[in-house]
Structure 1
Amino acid sequence: MPADQRARATRAGGRRPGAVAALAAAVLLGAVLTSAFVVIVARAEPDGEPRRIAYFAEWNIANRGYTVRDIEESGAAERLTRVLWAFGHVGADGRCGVPADGNQAWELYQRRYPAELSVSGEADGYRQPLAGALNQLRALRERHPGLGASISLGGWNGSAFLSDAALTEESRRAFVASCVDLWLRGDLPHRDGEPQGGPGAAEGVFDGVDLDWEWPGGGGRTGNAARPQDRRNLTLLAAEFRRQLDALSAETGRTYTLSVSLPHDLERMRAGYEPELYDLVDFATVQGYDFTGSWSATTDHHSQLYAPRDAPTATSVDRSVRGYLSHGLPADKLVVGFPGFGRGWRGVPPDGFGRHAPSAGPAEGGYGEGTDAYADLRDRPGLRFLDPLNGTYWIYDGDAWWTFDPPEVVALKGTYARERGLGGLMLWNLDMDPDGELVAAMDESLGEG
């Protein structure tokens, strides 16, 4: 996940008049500005339907008022195959848990939802054993039996103790058991005198675990534990998860999914991940975004499908995909991640309509420095450009330059994934796409052909 996605932002309204006409003109201009097209070689699709996956950022229930009901009302729930719930807490003791401080327990399973905010349209009762967002997720999955849900462990802000949890056979066994008990068996702690919780209170809400360790061996947030043996220990940790999930499956008769989140950086791939890991997981999401951002003084696309000939770096979705395939990740397990947010710069000169130009610094965004949601960027004023050959898009208003993935680019990525037999697409994250436009583009593009 991006490091700067927790700031508050407002949601945008409808499209501005003239956007379609501007886009049509931009397509023609994009063809002039871009480099040669890279030939796509088609191959057979994998067995089964491509995965349509999206993260749900739980903290944005409180920060932005985006609830599980919004997944239903936007139409996203009927299009997705799995929701990845961000994030399950990993404590300093190397165990899964719900922090005693803050309001996570309240939002997760104690808050009683009124009828107007609930998936079912019915108000929660005071003493029901499960309330909060987890009860809403359970209701959503009951409405959509084909929708899976995984608890994602770690993330940029929550990976501090994963190296400790994975360090020894004993620590791995205890860590995995705590995660299985809490998130899959649903054994929630009673807190603050509230009636919610207890053994099995949230059983069946989740049917999977996603390992989002950022990053094995180092390079993550300052202060994270990191060791040279993390690379091997991650494989051993996944093997322990696989063992305990299979044991739980034998007990319950249900199927449990194991996945892993992977960086786009190929040096980090080689340093932190063994090819044996891929045999243990059902799928792996590759973060096809954050190639650049506020840390760079030059404008560039942060989620480009291909790198244009004159781009500052060669980083691209295609480069990462080819790197992982060469590293041993099976094509039908590789899920390409795309962003629901964009990156922006200010003080950008007009040469090349601001593309690959120097800047005065990051633009002001609602999701932190130089970052904003698709829902807001969709309606931002300025000239709009689509590069259909390289799978990029940007807005330039004479000073600020923003790049992001609108539905047109998501569709290009869906075609790319489908024609290469990849495992599907993944969106970070749902509250940035409140009307479900990016999810719809993902679903429709993966279903074509």
Structure 2
Amino acid sequence: MSTRVSVCLPNRAFTFVLASLLVPFFLARPSLANEPRHDNQSKVVGGYFEEWSIYFAGYNIANLQANGVADRLTHLTYAFGDATPTGCAIADSWADYQDPSLPSVSGATYTGPLYGNFAALQQLKQLHPNLKVLISLAGADGFSAAASTAAGRQAMVSNCIDLFVKGNLATGISAAGVFDGIDIDWEFPSAADTVNATLLLQEFRKQLDALGKANHKHYLLTMFGPAGQQNFSNIQLAEVARQLDFFNVQGYDFHGTWETSTNHASPLFDDKQDPDSSENFYIDYTIRSYLQAGVPGEKLVLGIPTYARGWTGVPSTGHGLYQTSTGPAPFPSSDYLQTPGVITYLTLTGLTGYTRHYDYRRIAVWLYDPGTQTFWSYDDPVTVWLKTAYVRTRVRGGLGGAFVWALKDDDANGTIVKTMAAGLN
């Protein structure tokens, strides 16, 4: 894959070149016995592990140990548990705690009665005792219904804590100690949910603190922090932040094939050349909005994608950027996402016939093939490195850290996660 770095402003081009040289160095350097690792890092180095990773992707918790990614993570968030009007439910019992065939993380045989991903997480935590594992709960309708009354909030929180934090999965099967907290993936509270969402988070914090007091432990509470004024304006950001350890702030999906024109999917900054600049679809606007609303910088953890979004039928003007398209880009048959307009970083690294282009103003990268008129927007080690610099310097003391969606979509070496971790150290 050929490389073309824009050099319109020498100092910014130099930054890209320097980052390109430094990233491989930090990825390849050996770990020293006394070198600080995730056990005492101050920044969050997080990643989402999807329960369905074990199916089409063939990606297991054991992969995180084998490729060294687990050594770099401070937080792993498991997606998803189901949020229902009455509490929580297991989304996939086979993947979560019944599958006896998953590869061992530690080399020890799974003896049951706990199997599946939860048993693998249990082994991972034995190897990495300071790694924090959270269960992510999803289901907008369930959250909305449960949050609408005090009784509903109390019942939901109690049930979710009992199922996942206390680990009461089924008769004779316990996952106690697997999860260190709860992540609320409410996409998205409506205007009618605004006050109730705050009350629900307060209830989660109250009950988690009560359990923590009894167990002499702090249980984590995090929440997906959406981009887009139309989304985060429905959340009382400062008050919700008081209940949270941190927001997982959306740093991706600013553009995609729900639109007919190409654009950057995860740009850090804006540019007047962007036809959609008035929409404020970029990371710094989102972060600035949360800060201005009163959210402390250390409670903002920036999301980084490990997948690309793409279009086809794109004219070569501007190497395809800000151009019309005829539809989503086709995906290679080997890509396990099997979704038009989306491929993993793993797949993207194997593409041929493309030229790589950097947008130094927006801190963004894309691939374009004039032969097939195909355009892919994504993050690579250079943009990830520069985004971690932004995390470290955006406010005094820096933001809280960064995370990826999702761990399975990185390349086999975990390059994006390792770059992120190196940049945050």
The bucket for the TM-score relative to the shorter chain is 0.7 to 0.9
| Alignment partner of 1:60 is 2:53 | yes
Distance in 2 (alpha carbons) for counterparts of 1:344 and 1:267: 24
CA drift of 1:71 comes to 1.1
> Are 1:324 and 2:309 counterparts?
no
2:166 corresponds to = 185
Distance 1:79 1:48, change over 3 A: closer
Aligned to 2:99: 111
**Once the two structures are superposed, what CA deviation does each residue of 1:313-343 show, in whole Å capped at 9, x if it has no partner?**
2311111111111111110101111111111
Tell me which amino acid in the other structure corresponds to 1:112.
P
For 2:128, the aligned partner's letter is: H
Matched, 1:378 2:378: no
% same residue: 37
- Secondary structure, counterpart of 2:210 in structure 1: helix
> Could you tell me how far 1:312 is from its partner in structure 2?
2.1
What RMSD over aligned residues (CA atoms) do the two structures have, in Å? 1.9
5+ long unaligned stretches in structure 2: 16-39
Counterpart Cα distance in 2 of 1:435 and 1:162: 37
**Letter of the structure 1 residue corresponding to residue 323 of structure 2:** A
**Alignment partner for residue 359 of structure 2, among 387, 396, 405?**
387
Partner of 1:209: 182
Quick check: 1:417–1:425 contact (8 Å CA) kept in 2? yes
Q: CA deviation at 1:31?
A: 5.2
Which amino acid is 1:376 matched to?
T
Contact 1:31 1:389 in 2 (8 A): no
- Partners of 2:53 and 2:408 within 8 A in 1: yes
Equivalent residue in structure 2 for 1:97, among 89, 93, 98: 89
Aligned partners of 1:141 and 1:147 also within 8 Å: yes
Q: How does 1:319-398 map to 2 (within 5 A)?
A: 319-365=285-331, 366=335, 367=337, 368-381=339-352, 382-398=354-370
> 2: CA distance between counterparts of 1:159 and 1:72?
33
Q: How far apart, in 2, do the equivalents of 1:250 and 1:428 lie?
A: 32
1:443 to 418, 421, 424: 421
With normalisation by structure 1, the TM-score equals 0.82
1:284 maps to amino acid: F
The alpha-carbon deviation at position 427 of structure 1 amounts to 0.4
Structure 1: gaps spanning 5 or more residues: 1-18, 38-46, 191-196, 218-227
Counterpart check, 1:256 vs 2:237: no
Does structure 2 conserve the Cα–Cα contact (< 8 Å) formed by 1:298 and 1:359? yes
- What is the number of residues matched between the two proteins? 384
Q: What is the distance in 2 between the residues matched to 1:435 and 1:266?
A: 36
Q: Residues 108 and 30 of structure 1: is their aligned pair in 2 closer, same or farther, counting only changes over 3 Å?
A: farther
CA 1:432–1:265: 2 relative to 1, 3 Å: same
1:30 CA displacement: 6.9
Q: Is residue 268 of structure 1 aligned with residue 231 of structure 2?
A: yes
- Scaled by the length of structure 2, what TM-score is found? 0.87
Shift of 1:273: 3.3
1:224-263 alignment runs, 5 A limit: 228-263=191-226
C-alpha contact 1:30 1:386 (8 A) present in aligned 2: no
Please tell me the residue identity of whatever aligns with 2:376.
W
Q: Which has the higher helix share?
A: 2
